[in-house]
Amino acid sequence: VKHGGKNSYEMFAHSMNIVSKRRLQIEAHLRHAIDNKELYLVYQPQISLHSGKIIGVEALLRWDSPLLGAVSPVEFIPVAEETGLITPIGEWVLFEACQQAQVWRDEALPPVRMAVNLSVRQFARQNLESVVQSTLLKTGLPVRYLELEITENMLMDDVEGSVDTLHRLKDLGVCLAIDDFGTGYSSLSYLKRFPIDRLKIDRSFITHVTTNTEDASVTQAIIAVAHSLGLSVTAEGVESADQLAFLNENKCEEVQGYYFSKPVSANDIKRLLIVNQGL
């Protein structure tokens, strides 16, 4: 190490220090986020292209920390995964989402599915289906309204174990979706062994679907594979009328994205459901 001005190693060490400091701060504050009521859910509508109406919502986690400000789930979920904090947080999300879906049912709003994201650790746990079952019992939500989103890479990590876990969830009657489809490395032979209902095409393919022929081809291929396996397809990240038209022409069943709505509060969803225009 040279003396005087900072060399590249020192710069590197300095930036690593900032990264790990931030990580430690997140961990320290996240530890109390549930008890301090700093976590909440927002909901993004999923629209059926068949009816033009809202058919489901995806629950997305938000954290407003009094000390760190709003922290993105892209940043804090990995920390929660590494530290194990994801277990209580994931159970809180599942409960909160099911309870909200049941509140909308009690208010006699048009019925919608509630999609909940599962983390790596949640999916790997032995007692996942009993957690799901007891959450449904506690909230009173009928199982057919719950959809669980599992990423492609989570499934491919341990194919035999995944097939087993998915069957145990499917036996309860839960809807199952593969999230971020196309970004991972699943093979078709595995795909047909998973008892799933839906593929969600990752936003990265939809963004340029009307201008990039490769993205268009991949999107068409995913829809074709899904349909040949009897699965339905949701496209995420739909931001324009052109993208919507492409997906409609190619027989995609459902869409989700800023074109219709950003993720919004439960109250805003209630208003959207009362109007229930969707498109």
Residue nearest to ligand C2E (CB): 257
Out of 7, 13, 28, 73, the only residue in the binding site for ligand C2E (CB under 6 A) is 73
- Crossing angle for the helix pair 241-249 and 213-228, nearest 10 degrees? 40
Q: How far is the CB of 7 from ligand C2E (least distance, A)?
A: 37
Between 29 and 179, name the residue whose CB sits nearer to Ca ion. 179
E-only strand ranges, the chain: 39-48, 54-65, 69-71, 113-117, 146-151, 175-181, 198-201, 232-235, 254-255
Q: How far is the CB of 97 from ligand C2E (least distance, A)?
A: 8
Q: Which of residues 149-208 bind ligand C2E (CB under 6 A)?
A: 179-180, 203
Cα separation, 113 vs 36, in Å, equals 29
- Where do we find the tokens 């062994």? 193
Between 9 and 258, name the residue whose CB sits nearer to ligand C2E. 258
253 contacts Ca ion (rule: CB under 5 A): no
Out of 9, 12, 40, 258, the only residue in the binding site for ligand C2E (CB under 6 A) is 258
Residues 6+ apart with CB under 8 A from 136: 98, 142, 143, 146, 172
Residues 6+ apart with CB under 8 A from 64: 38, 40, 70
Out of 26, 49, 61, 169, the only residue in the binding site for ligand C2E (CB under 6 A) is 61
Q: How far is the CB of 6 from Ca ion (least distance, A)?
A: 37
* Total interface residues for ligand C2E by CB under 6 A: 21
The alpha carbon torsion through 99, 105, 107, 108 (nearest 10 deg) reads 180
Measured over all CA atoms, what is the biggest interatomic distance in the chain, rounded to whole angstroms?
Answer: 72
The alpha carbon torsion through 159, 162, 164, 166 (nearest 10 deg) reads -140
- HSE, side-chain direction, 13 A CA sphere, residue 23: 12
Cα separation, 141 vs 215, in Å, equals 38
91 contacts ligand C2E (rule: CB under 6 A): no
Q: Work out what residue 61 binds among Ca ion, ligand C2E, none; the CB cut-off runs from 5 to 8 Å by kind.
A: ligand C2E
* Total interface residues for Ca ion by CB under 5 A: 4
Out of 74, 108, 188, 275, the only residue in the binding site for ligand C2E (CB under 6 A) is 74
> What element of type H or E holds 163?
helix 159-172
Out of 65, 100, 102, 117, the only residue in the binding site for Ca ion (CB under 5 A) is 117
Binding site for Ca ion (CB under 5 A): 117, 149, 179-180
Which residues of the shown chain bind ligand C2E in the complex (CB under 6 A)?
Answer: 44, 60-61, 72-74, 77, 93, 117-119, 179-180, 203, 236-239, 257-258, 263
